[in-house]
Amino acid sequence: MKKGLIFSIKRYSVHDGPGIRVTVFMKGCPLSCWWCHNPEGIAPGVESLLETRKVGDLEFSEPAVVGKYYSVGEILEILKKELVFFRQSGGGVTFSGGEPLLQPEFLKDALMACKDLGVHTAVDTSGFCPWPDLEKILPYTDLFLFDIKHLSDTRHLEHTGVGNGSILQNFRMLIQSGKETMVRFPVIPGINDDQDHLMRLREFLAGTGKGNITRISLLPFHKTGSSKYRKMGLPYRMEDTEPPSAEKMKELKAFFSETGIKVKIGG
């Protein structure tokens, strides 16, 4: 059975689906969003980085490896220790990234095994993948967390490195399949928060079959990943962008609530 390349496994996660969850961050993403706060998850291979550590006033650089191969069995061993929390909180496992569908065979095997164990499964995806890969995991995925970043193909290409054609097509087909889906909209000032785009997005979500969209999560831009760019020697293009205010997020919550879909600020 294929192994999966993973760069982090987070226990007690409460922002990636219902209840208390284990989030498995799979390495590799075909997008390169300007605001990505997990840049170490983008390259699809094991990487060696220089980590800076501070001891008192002294700074040391030491090599750190990002990415490790796990078998499905190893993932299950981690999940088995959390079953009691899953049961009590209605939680489960979320496969995130990176883009989990970049490793479709491993993802399918892992989801199947989690379902056999009776664990609730969620997949957090950019939606950028061939539809057959998404279709193959439908039977083993209880919930999709689906990112919609920009409805303009040109702006999507400019800010994420890929166009949105297949993403929106996959989104429509996912909604038609009847699978429970929560939409995640990262609110990125100056990129996707202009009134014209917000109106288009609200119309799109309201018209795409709200019955199966059980929530819209508005994810405010933040800069917590910026230091990782420095460590990795990558340019950070969001240095001059400030996070949206709490007031603005409240306004957006009211604005998207007019779709009739439940709206939450945060994951």
Binding site for ligand SF4 (CB under 6 A): 29, 31-33, 36, 38, 41-42, 97-99, 126, 160
- Among the listed residues 202, 186, 213, 197, the one whose alpha carbon sits nearest the alpha carbon of residue 259: 202
CB of 99 to ligand SF4, least distance (A): 6
CB of 112 to ligand SF4, least distance (A): 24
CB of 44 to ligand SF4, least distance (A): 11
Token digits of residue 192: 């996707």
- Residue closer to ligand SF4 by CB (options 17, 98) is 98
CB of 41 to ligand SF4, least distance (A): 6
- Residue closer to ligand SF4 by CB (options 40, 82) is 40
Q: How far apart are the two ends of the chain, measured CA to CA in Å? A: 32
Under 8 Å between Cβ of 222 and 243 = yes
C-alpha–C-alpha distance, residues 226 and 2, integer Å: 33
Instruction: Classify residue 154 by its DSSP letter.
Output: H
- Residue closer to ligand SF4 by CB (options 32, 89) is 32
- Residue closer to ligand SF4 by CB (options 43, 78) is 43
- Residue closer to ligand SF4 by CB (options 210, 231) is 231
CB of 60 to ligand SF4, least distance (A): 28
Phi, psi of 169 (to 5 degrees): -65, -45
Q: Is 47 exposed, middle or buried (0-12, 13-18, 19+ CB in 10 A)?
A: middle
